[in-house]
Chains A and B, each alone.
Chain A
Amino acid sequence: MENTIKVERAILNLTQDDLAKRIGVSRQTINSIEANRYVPSTVLALKLSDVFNKPVNDFFKLSNDD
């Protein structure tokens, strides 16, 4: 799974900490998601979608090995 959360966050001018507070997780969790070390649950993905105001498919993409 690949994602463009870092880009989306930059567009909204949010820090990792800001985004983490908005969706109720720790900053380290956002860092792990951005680095593709952790794949979030559907609930978290939908919360991110809500913050970015975009469908989940726009910032999460399946990679070749998925």
Chain B
Amino acid sequence: MANIAAQRIRREFKEVIKSEEVAKCAIKVELLNDSYTELKGEITGPPDTAYEGGVFVLEIKVPETYPFNPPKVRFITKIWHPNISSVTGAICLDILKDQWAAAMTLRTVLLSLQALLSAAEPDDPQDAVVAKQFKENIEMFQMTARHWTNVYAGGPHVNKECDDKIKRLVDMGVEEHQARVALSSYNWDIERATEQIFS
């Protein structure tokens, strides 16, 4: 069984490397060990989204029973998205769960994740806070996601206002990421974020 898994990954690895998406630098896969059980994936943020210009790193773990069971994938790069946990990077996507099919590949998984970044499903959320913001205040969500992309994924859009607010909290002795999470969760309302941190 493990034989099929390793065989598959070896072949898929070549498939991804040769694929046209790699040529366009949209997706990338790297091996982390010789047994083909752990890989590092990378996808770029799709154009015309808040994630544009960012590079998102993924942890891919291949189970013994692959490809009859889906690979376990999560985001290493922190991301602000309704279907991805802002804390753990866990992903809510049907093809990684019950809709997995044995004939799918790493390439299709990475492309599906990229598609997920451009089309969120706020009604089936992984991160309830993000999903709520997405549904109630889409501009605020876009701004926050763009800011996270800039800070964690190397995106080009610097948001001075956000950085200032975070700096004010950091000056009060708050850890930077904690400050960012609190501000993001409270629609960048610095008073409510402070209250939440110090309560």
User: Do A and B actually bind?
Assistant: no
Q: Tell me the A residues contacting B by CB distance below 8 Å.
A: none
